[in-house]
Amino acid sequence: MTKPNDYVLGQSECAARRLAIQDIHFADVSEKLLDELALRPNDRVVEFGCGAGSFSKRILRRLGKGGVLVGIDSGEGLLKQAESSLADLGPARFEPVLADVAKLGDWLDGADVVTARIMLHHIPMVELVLGRLRAALKPGTRVGFLEPDFRTPLGRLAYLEATGRPGLAPLRVWAFAINQLYLAIRISPECGATLARTLAAAGYQNVREHWSETRSGPETVENMLMFYDEVRERLVSLGILTAAEIAEQQRLLRALNVEGLPPAWGIYRVTCEV
């Protein structure tokens, strides 16, 4: 077993709640990804960064008695939550593995499908891992990822804020904060923008890319509030926001009218084969 890396966001029950909110937020695009991966009943699926198992549930519901989902995560607490929440979900088997997904292991052996939702950007220089991943997979393996886009929506948010909707500033500040945090700790916040080209350059076949925006609503605001709770100390220590500024941003987020909020982030959906 490899020693897991420290995850930039939390690994507590609060983190599991945030991930569950994300599952609601990304429900439609998650199902579209699984449709494109065309899961078969007996598939062996490897999920990078399974967390507490919200996306895993969607995968397991599509597998049959001979199917296996191998869930890889660096958070022991989240893996235990996943194992508990996925017990007796259906005929397929769930195999939790505590490992650093950046260090590919024998848990990849025999994979028919490799997937991940909103986690590749947590791997420093993830392009290197994706190239090595292709070398480790058997021909015909289907691969599919969802990755967030925290940057493109900033253009609209900045414009709207400057032309009569100053109340949207908390959305812009949140997007700025998460981008600055990820850049400061040298992970890959914008890997989704180049993901399709990276996979094609590494020799994956039939690379397909789709970009869409996610709707904003109450779960968007709750997600942002929980983000601030989980990384408050890091934001302060890195000089991105002060504790007082974070408290003010949370106050402003709670005061937002969630009706008619513009999208705060986009999603890249990329699939391919080995």
Question: Does 2 have pLDDT greater than 70?
Answer: no
With cut-offs at 50, 70 and 90, classify the pLDDT of residue 13. Answer: low
Question: Does 138 have pLDDT greater than 50?
Answer: yes
Mean pLDDT over the full length of the chain: 91
Alpha-helical regions (H) of the chain: 13-25, 27-37, 54-60, 76-86, 126-136, 152-162, 169-184, 191-201, 218-237, 243-255
pLDDT of res. 164: 94
Question: Does 16 have pLDDT greater than 80?
Answer: no
- Residue 267 vs residues 53, 92, 105, 172: alpha-carbon distances, Å: 20, 28, 28, 17
With cut-offs at 50, 70 and 90, classify the pLDDT of residue 260. Answer: confident
Question: Does 14 have pLDDT greater than 70?
Answer: no
User: End-to-end distance of the chain based on CA atoms, in angstroms?
Assistant: 26
Question: Does 36 have pLDDT greater than 90?
Answer: yes
Ordered structural domains, the chain, with CATH = 13-273 (3.40.50.150)
pTM: 0.89
pLDDT of res. 219: 87
| Bridge partner residues of 268 (DSSP) | 147, 211
SS3 142: strand
Angle, helices 218-237 vs 13-25, to 10°: value is 140
- Which has the higher per-residue pLDDT, 190 or 98? 98
Sequence letter at residue 191: C
d(CA 164, CA 171): 15
Question: Does 98 have pLDDT greater than 70?
Answer: yes
pLDDT of res. 19: 74
d(CA 126, CA 69): 22
- The pair of structure tokens assigned to 206 is 């039939």
Question: Does 21 have pLDDT greater than 90?
Answer: no
